[in-house]
Structure 1
Amino acid sequence: MTRTMPYHKTCELCTTAGGEILWQDALCRVVHVEDQDYPGFCRVILNRHIKEMSDLKPADREHVMLVVFAVEEAVREVIRPDKVNLASLGNMTPHVHWHVIPRFKRDRHFPNPIWGASKRESLPQALDSGSSQALKNAIAARLNQGEQVFMGI
């Protein structure tokens, strides 16, 4: 994994990839979070230890958000959720990262946030290898297409 300083030795997102890397550039990476309740759950993680979006240069903020939106589009195309939740909390891990979470009306927590009280039994599901590869390809296609945009940032 490409790391750019600063790095924090006790930060989980500095010391691990944070999931299976689907795409990365010098500023950030996109990872798939293995969660059987939320297939297609991805994170966009900054490659250096910064706590808040507002601590980034405006161009870097824009770059991160373009990546978040590209991941959301890919998730919608491949996973076809009822809704997508975007979240940047970082209370437990104060490192800039965004959650891109496909939601389904019958998922374990819907309509609550996934960190809230469960509404029903979990219906374990996972991305099959074909869907996982399709998601990776869709993310890469959107982000590689957008490299011209990123070059100007």
Structure 2
Amino acid sequence: MSTNCILCKEDGGQLIWRGDDARVVLIDDPDLPGYCRIIWNRHVAEMSDLSQVEREILMALVDVTEFAIRRVMHPQKINIASLGNQVPHLHWHVIPRFVDDPFFPGSIWSSKQRELSDTTRKARREAAKSLPDAIRSGIADLA
């Protein structure tokens, strides 16, 4: 644990599931309903800091999260990224993307191209409420 690391101190979002090695959280971003992160519990910066078995565990969680987001949110595209430039604690972003989302076709860290309608935002936030159960079910199937 690093005392200066926000992901060592906090869950990093709404906790969906926590295991011995990693956790899955839902990010409360009004522009990107369904946006999740998979965060390694131990403070490491890179995938290469993990053993092969640990990498397989982490990527299985990324896969389960992607499948659940696709099944629940029905996005046109999924973005998966592991950057860590601002928070050098190993984590993966799994983001449902829609052609009408505020940042499309750029990354979610780009400038906004448009605003999401309130109706669309509300519908996607409502759909995202089903993600925790879908993700937990997918993780249970890994066992």
Normalising by the residue count of structure 2, what TM-score does the alignment of the two structures yield?
A: 0.93
- 2:94 is matched with 100
Structure 1 residue 36: deviation in Å?
0.7
Structure 1 residue 123: deviation in Å?
3.5
* One of 9, 18, 30 as aligned partner of 2:24: 30
CA distance in structure 2 between the partners assigned to 1:115 and 1:26 by the alignment: 30
Structure 1 residue 70: deviation in Å?
0.4
Contact 1:108 1:123 in 2 (8 A): no
What secondary structure sits across from 1:23 in the alignment? strand
Q: CA RMSD in A?
A: 1.1
Contact 1:49 1:95 in 2 (8 A): yes
**Structure 2 unmatched runs, 5+:** none
* One of 50, 60, 70 as aligned partner of 2:64: 70
- 1:143 is matched with 139
Question: Where do residues 1-153 of structure 1 align in structure 2 (5 Å cutoff)?
Answer: 7-123=1-117, 125-126=121-122, 127-128=125-126, 131-147=127-143
CA distance in structure 2 between the partners assigned to 1:121 and 1:75 by the alignment: 22
**Structure 1 unmatched runs, 5+:** 1-6, 148-153
Structure 1 residue 132: deviation in Å?
3.9
Structure 1 residue 23: deviation in Å?
1.0
Deviations 1:12-69 (CA, angstroms, capped at 9, x unpaired): 1000000111111100000000001000000000011000011100110111001001
Contact 1:37 1:123 in 2 (8 A): no
Structure 1 residue 146: deviation in Å?
0.2
CA distance in structure 2 between the partners assigned to 1:26 and 1:70 by the alignment: 17
Structure 1 residue 120: deviation in Å?
1.5
CA distance in structure 1 between the partners assigned to 2:12 and 2:46 by the alignment: 18
Runs of 4 or more consecutive aligned structure 1 residues displaced over 2 Å after TM superposition: 121-124
CA distance in structure 2 between the partners assigned to 1:123 and 1:96 by the alignment: 33
CA distance in structure 1 between the partners assigned to 2:128 and 2:5 by the alignment: 27
Identity of aligned residues (%): 43
Contact 2:33 2:128 in 1 (8 A): no
CA distance in structure 2 between the partners assigned to 1:16 and 1:123 by the alignment: 31
Deviations 1:85-130 (CA, angstroms, capped at 9, x unpaired): 00000000000000000000000010000001221124452522xx
